[in-house]
Amino acid sequence: MIGADAIVKCLEAEDVQYVFGYPGVAICPFYNSILDSDIQTILIRTEQNAAHAASGLARVSGTVGVCAVTSGPGATNLITGIATAFADSIPLVCITGQVNSELLGSDVFQEADITGAAESFVKYSYLVKDAAEIPRIFKEAFHLANTGRKGPVLIDVPIDVQNAPIAKFKYPEEVNMRTYKPTVKGNMAQIKKVAKELSRAKRPLICAGGGVLLSQAEKALRHFSEKYQIPVVSTMMGIGAMPTKDPLYFGMVGNNGKPFANRAMNDSDLLLMVGARVADRAVNQPDVITENKVLVHIDVDPAEIGKNVGPAIPLVGDARHIFEDLETEEFSCDTAAWIKTLTNYRETMQPIRRPNASYVDPAAFITKLSEAMEEDAVYVADVGQNQIWSCGYHIVKQGRFLTSGGMGTMGYSIPAAMGAKLAAPKRQVVAVCGDGSFQMSMMELATMRQFGVAVKIIVLKNNYLGMVREYQHYTYKDNYSVVDLSGSPDLEKLASAYDLRFMRLENMAGADETIRSFLEKDESVLLECLIDPMDLVK
Amino acid sequence: MKKIYSVLVENRSGVLCKVAGLFSRRCFNIDSLAVGETEDTTVSRMTIVSSGDERTIEQIEKQLNKKIDVIKVKTFDEPASVSRELMLMKVKYNKNNRRDIMETCQIMGADIVDMSKNMMIIQICDVPERVKLLISMMKGISIVELARTGTLALQKCLDMEE
């Protein structure tokens, strides 16, 4: 047995089903060893998308996504994908091949200091110097990636270490790390304090972030919210923590969120931030959020508490455990009047759109689409205007809403949707992107075809980098710079080149029928929707 | 506000880089940083002197704790610690100022640890303020080279027992 065999054995021990990647000489021993395993390899068309696909898989399955690429440019190409996962706390194990360890530091062909380069985007990284360390390192890496504040872990393996003989393989049963013991259970004294504040509050509000989904606390949150009648808003990463149509859910907050959600944040006298970073997009002026209200900040990462917002009652722990523990406290909330106020806000503060009837209205289209989607469907939004429309008008039932929230990486939706579909082959998976973000990942149409991944793709086409155009519209008085997307391929011809069923929707007439046909069979379809180039999200 | 962070870390390659990188990436100041192995050879102690407002000081401790290679972080104020810095200073001297230099060294508790016809190396081990003071006293003569370790500090015994 050699190091590369040991890596494969480690992945098997972790029940890994898919490895997304791209080979090169420095990772060839690994890709040779994996031939003897049942683990399926997916040849992605550019390394960044290997991390995005692994991210989509991780988010839908709750397991760790794995990708493996070669040294040098393979590894550096992966960095944006790693950074995207890091910003959204998605658990990944990223394996990179590396040049011979004796040559490290001499700038040989395809050598890149990837552990150094990726340092600020990983939860932890390893450079393996001894093949005997492989089992321990992989055990630790999977544990680190998927516990506490989740995130990507990088393992850089020089080719000679992959080829080095190993006498005996034994996968450790436990991790033994003296420096890493994340707090999962909340401190009971703090929990009692929060319960007391809740019983005192007249206008309590929960703001659910991505942490709720990462700790699989959706059920606990919904139960808690219903039992005590506490209304909920969410950040972009928290979309799907509550069903959109839940009477206690009042939309996404932030500068791209719903006015009534922001009003709810503003008016609340007790705000429970759960698994949310309170970053600039969700809360415009984090330092004033605590004015006139008590803030309780619940997060598994103590460093997030007090990082962006002022004084709060800190509660460190996993969201699911904390909701469950809070329910063991005896208290009640009288929120009927508050909920009535918020319901009134929701009815009266709906944003008004004036769609151009010659085109598809993205808002109405996305609403119709999500109504027609299956109960547990996965909707993957890309980045740009499409993302904001998706956040605003997609209706989550019991499914998932995935997007790149923290980093805002264009091109995320197609590879992430592929990962999601592989993780849950029976679920309907729809990727929604713009014509800019589509072109950042359209090479993956080949991957979809090669591996038969039935992802449905919608391109909201407006011939512009719409989000930037909108910014230039407001900030530079329509002086457009480098946002014109003319020259884009004919999507119908492109679809035919990849043997993909193609559909086009030019305006809202016939939208229902198009959507029905688009969703009908479990197969890949490319649907082009023509959007008014001058349409705005705000 | 000035704080001293006494940080126990895994004695592995790359750890210094990770900790120093954390400070630069998050725009935290480093006034001084000193590292050395402890009585346990698998553990090193980093002594970092930093300054910032209250939120920054709290963030530094939390972000340090988040690093997987960090075993333990202790934060304390200067008065609560015994702190020392070592400095070596090579100066040019001549007949006229030799006596003055030696007198200053005597007053400051510094030693002359190496000498040639024209140059000498002065060594001082003291609290950072007094090291600074010695430098300013020597400004008038010609300093050739100077090396400082950065502050080392341990929490005072009584404070620790409390």
The tokens describing A21, both together, are 């990647």
Q: Tokens representing B90?
A: 């090579």
Q: What are the angstrom distances between the C-alpha of B129 and each of B2, B78, B124?
A: 14, 11, 12
Query: Quick check: B162 pLDDT over 70?
Result: no
pLDDT score at B159: 72
Q: What is the mean pLDDT of chain A?
A: 96
Write down the pLDDT at residue A264: 96
* Nearest chain A residue to B56, by CA: A307
**Which A residues, 281 through 310, put their C-beta within 8 Å of a C-beta on chain B?**
301-303, 306-307
Q: How far apart are CA A428 and CA A516, in angstroms?
A: 13
Residue B10: pLDDT over 70: yes
Contacts of A149 in chain B (CB under 8 A): 66
Q: Is the CB of A168 inside 8 Å of chain B's CB atoms?
A: no
Q: Using the predicted structure, report yes or no on whether residue A288 has a pLDDT greater than 90.
A: no
Look at the alpha carbons of A290, A293, A294, A299 in this order and tell me if their dihedral is positive or negative. negative
Q: How confident is the model at residue A461 (pLDDT cuts 50, 70, 90)?
A: very high
One-character DSSP codes across A48-77: HHHHHHHHHHHHHHSS-EEEEE-STHHHHH
**Alpha-carbon distance A511 to A504, whole Å?**
10
The secondary structure of chain B, three-state, reads CEEEEEEEEECCCCHHHHHHHHHHHCCCCCCEEEEEECCCCCEEEEEEEEECCHHHHHHHHHHHHHCCCEEEEEEECHHHEEEEEEEEEEEECCCCCHHHHHHHHHHHCCEEEEECCCEEEEEEEECHHHHHHHHHHHCCCEEEEEEECCCEEEECHHHHHC
- pLDDT band at A286, cuts 50/70/90? confident
A176 CB within 8 Å of a chain B CB: no
- Residue B118 to residue B127: CA distance in whole angstroms: 29
Yes or no, beta carbons of A179 and B69 under 8 Å apart: yes
Tens-place pLDDT, residues B88-98: 999 999 999 99
- Name every residue whose Cβ is closer than 8 Å to that of residue A95 and which is 6 or more positions away in sequence: A7, A21, A27, A30, A66, A67, A68, A69, A155, A157
| Helices and strands, number each (H, E), in chain A | 21, 18
Record: contact A302-B55, CB cut-off 8 A = no
Beta bridge mates, B5: B48, B75
Tally Cβ neighbours within 10 Å of residue A133: 15
Average pLDDT over residues A73-87: 98
Q: How does DSSP classify residue A532?
A: -
Compute the nearest-CA separation of B140 from chain A (Å). 44
pLDDT(A287) > 90: no
Q: Closest Cα partner for A467 from A442, A505, A508, A433? A: A433
Q: What are residue B91's DSSP bridge partners? A: B120, B143
The pLDDT of residue A149: 97
User: How far apart, in whole angstroms, are the C-alpha atoms of residue A355 and residue A365?
Assistant: 11
Kindly calculate the radius of gyration of chain B based on its CA atoms and give it in whole angstroms: 19
Q: For residues A358 and A530, what is the distance between their CA atoms, to the nearest angstrom?
A: 9
Chain A residue at shortest CA distance from B14: A116
Q: How far is CA B59 from CA A304, A309, B64, in A?
A: 9, 12, 8
**Percent above pLDDT 90 for chain A:** 94
Considering only CB atoms, which chain B residues are within 8 Å of A115?
Answer: 14
- State pLDDT tens for residues B46-100: 999 999 999 899 999 999 999 999 999 999 999 999 999 999 999 999 999 999 9
**Owner of token pair 């001082």:** B124
- State which H helix or E strand residue A471 sits in: helix A466-475
Question: Would you place residue A291 in the very low, low, confident or very high pLDDT band (cuts 50, 70, 90)?
Answer: confident
Q: Are the CB atoms for B109 and B82 separated by under 8 Å? A: no
**DSSP conformation letters of A411-447:** T-HHHHHHHHHHH-TTS-EEEEEEHHHHHHHTTHHHH
Read off the pTM: 0.95
- Comparing alpha-carbon positions, the chain B residue that sits nearest to A287 is B55
Question: Residue A283: its pLDDT value, please?
Answer: 78
CB < 8 Å to B55, chain A: 306
The residue type at B18: K
% of chain A residues with pLDDT over 70: 99
- Rounded Cα–Cα distance for residues A276 and A264 (Å): 17
φ and ψ at residue B74, rounded to 5 degrees: -120, 130
**Distance of alpha carbon A537 from alpha carbon A357, whole angstroms:** 16
Mutate to test the interface with A, among B24, B68, B69, B72 (most CBs of A within 10 A): B68
User: Residue A285 pLDDT > 80, yes or no?
Assistant: no
> In which band, very low, low, confident or very high, does the pLDDT at A311 lie, cut at 50, 70 and 90?
confident
Query: How far away is chain A from the Cα of B68, in angstroms, using its nearest Cα?
Result: 6
